[in-house]
């Protein structure tokens, strides 16, 4: 499988770029059904899983893709999320996949981090701990930066996930401090790429609306982790920081995607993570491209 999928949004040249995949399974993580749908009523969950050809007792691992986005808007080369270099044996492929299409880290002038989890900031720095994109300004939501760098994350995160999350935050956030732009409201990061407040999965989780002409790509990052979340927006994952906020953020983003018929990119969906959200009954349904 090629790690790069090219597409266009108006005049913008875009690419979904794989950073690889990661395996979520016991003993490190709960089984996938519990991990992804922690608050789902059991009977209904098993029914929905079967509808997706997943046998509840036999679904023992979730192999999740990690999908970053490159946008060439002409004046700027923008990267959304930096992958999970060092998290597992099959992660950290972002730079080699970019190199395969002729992009080197020096070319990128803007790096947007949707949030501070390891799979989204793991490539911020290289093995020496210095910024991997030497000419880029890095952009993050203010609440997100504060959460990870003020001691709040240490105080509030569950013990069993804290260690790995903090390890990635400590390695990948302080070194970009002097090339960082923090945003606290919905604003154009560069012309055509607008930040959308999408809190819940983490305190300052951010979505993006990338638009050129009448074309729009909504990057919803981890507002949903699995296509079943599109159909069952009330079901939250163990790693969702504020479940109630996740549900309202999801509803707002999914509603917008369906109403405006935008293209959508979800970071953890099957590669290239692109599709449309269509209204179905009370909820929505994911239609991959």
Taking the mean position of all CA atoms in its chain, how far away is CA 200? 13
Q: Of residues 33, 85, 119, 231, which one binds Zn ion by CB under 5 A? A: 119
Nearer to Zn ion, 28 or 130 (CB): 28
Q: How far apart are CA 207 and CA 247, in angstroms?
A: 14
- Residue positions counted in the chain: 289
Q: How far apart are CA 148 and CA 2, in angstroms?
A: 34
Sequential DSSP letters for 129-185: SSBSSTT-EEEEEHHHHHHHHSSHHHHHS-HHHHHHHHHHHHHHSGGGGGGEEEE-S
Helix (H) or strand (E) holding 32: helix 32-36
Q: How far apart are CA 211 and CA 258, in angstroms?
A: 16
State the nearest-atom distance from the C-beta of 168 to Zn ion, in Å: 11
Task: Enter the tokens of residue 69.
Answer: 């986005």
Of residues 121 through 160, those in contact with Zn ion by CB under 5 A are none
Decide the pairing of beta strands 12-24 and 188-190.
Answer: unpaired
**Taking CB under 5 A as the rule, does residue 222 contact Zn ion?**
yes
Nearer to Zn ion, 84 or 189 (CB): 84
Nearer to Zn ion, 77 or 237 (CB): 237
Task: Enter the tokens of residue 66.
Answer: 């990690």
Q: How far apart are CA 191 and CA 214, in angstroms?
A: 14
Of residues 173 through 202, those in contact with Zn ion by CB under 5 A are none
Segment near Zn ion (CB under 5 A), from 29-37, 76-84, 111-119, 141-149? Answer: 111-119
Nearer to Zn ion, 73 or 81 (CB): 81
Site for Zn ion (CB under 5 A): how many residues? 2
Nearer to Zn ion, 222 or 240 (CB): 222
Segment near Zn ion (CB under 5 A), from 39-47, 105-113, 189-197, 214-222? Answer: 214-222
Nearer to Zn ion, 19 or 222 (CB): 222
Segment near Zn ion (CB under 5 A), from 89-97, 159-167, 174-182, 219-227? Answer: 219-227
Segment near Zn ion (CB under 5 A), from 121-129, 158-166, 222-230, 231-239? Answer: 222-230
Helix (H, G, I), strand (E, B) or coil at 179: helix
Query: Which chain residues interact with Zn ion by CB under 5 A?
Result: 119, 222
């Amino acid at each position: 499988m090629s790690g790069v999928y090219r597409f266009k949004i108006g005049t913008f040249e875009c690419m979904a770029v794989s950073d690889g995949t990661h395996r979520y399974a016991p003993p490190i993580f709960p089984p996938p059904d519990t991990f992804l749908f922690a608050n789902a009523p059991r009977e209904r969950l098993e029914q929905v899983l079967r509808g997706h050809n997943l046998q509840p007792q036999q679904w023992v691992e979730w192999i999740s893709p990690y999908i970053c986005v490159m946008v060439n808007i002409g004046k700027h080369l923008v990267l959304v999320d930096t992958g999970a270099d060092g998290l597992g044996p099959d992660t950290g492929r972002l730079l080699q996949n970019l190199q395969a299409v002729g992009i080197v880290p020096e070319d990128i002038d803007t790096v947007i981090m949707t949030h501070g989890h390891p799979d989204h900031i793991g490539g911020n720095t290289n093995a020496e701990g210095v910024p991997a994109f030497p000419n880029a300004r890095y952009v993050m939501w203010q609440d997100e930066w504060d959460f990870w760098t003020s001691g709040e994350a240490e105080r509030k995160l569950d013990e069993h996930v804290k260690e790995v999350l903090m390890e990635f935050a400590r390695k990948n956030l302080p070194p970009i401090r002097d090339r960082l732009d923090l945003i606290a409201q919905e604003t154009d990061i560069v012309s055509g790429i607008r930040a959308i407040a999408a809190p819940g999965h983490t305190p300052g989780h951010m979505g993006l609306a990338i638009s050129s002409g009448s074309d729009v790509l909504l990057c919803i990052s981890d507002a949903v982790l699995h296509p079943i979340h599109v159909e069952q927006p009330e079901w939250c994952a163990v790693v969702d920081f504020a479940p109630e906020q996740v549900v309202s953020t999801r509803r707002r983003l999914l509603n917008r995607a369906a109403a405006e018929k935008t293209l959508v990119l979800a970071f953890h969906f099957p590669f290239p993570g692109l599709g449309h959200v269509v209204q179905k009954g009370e909820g929505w349904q994911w239609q991959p491209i």
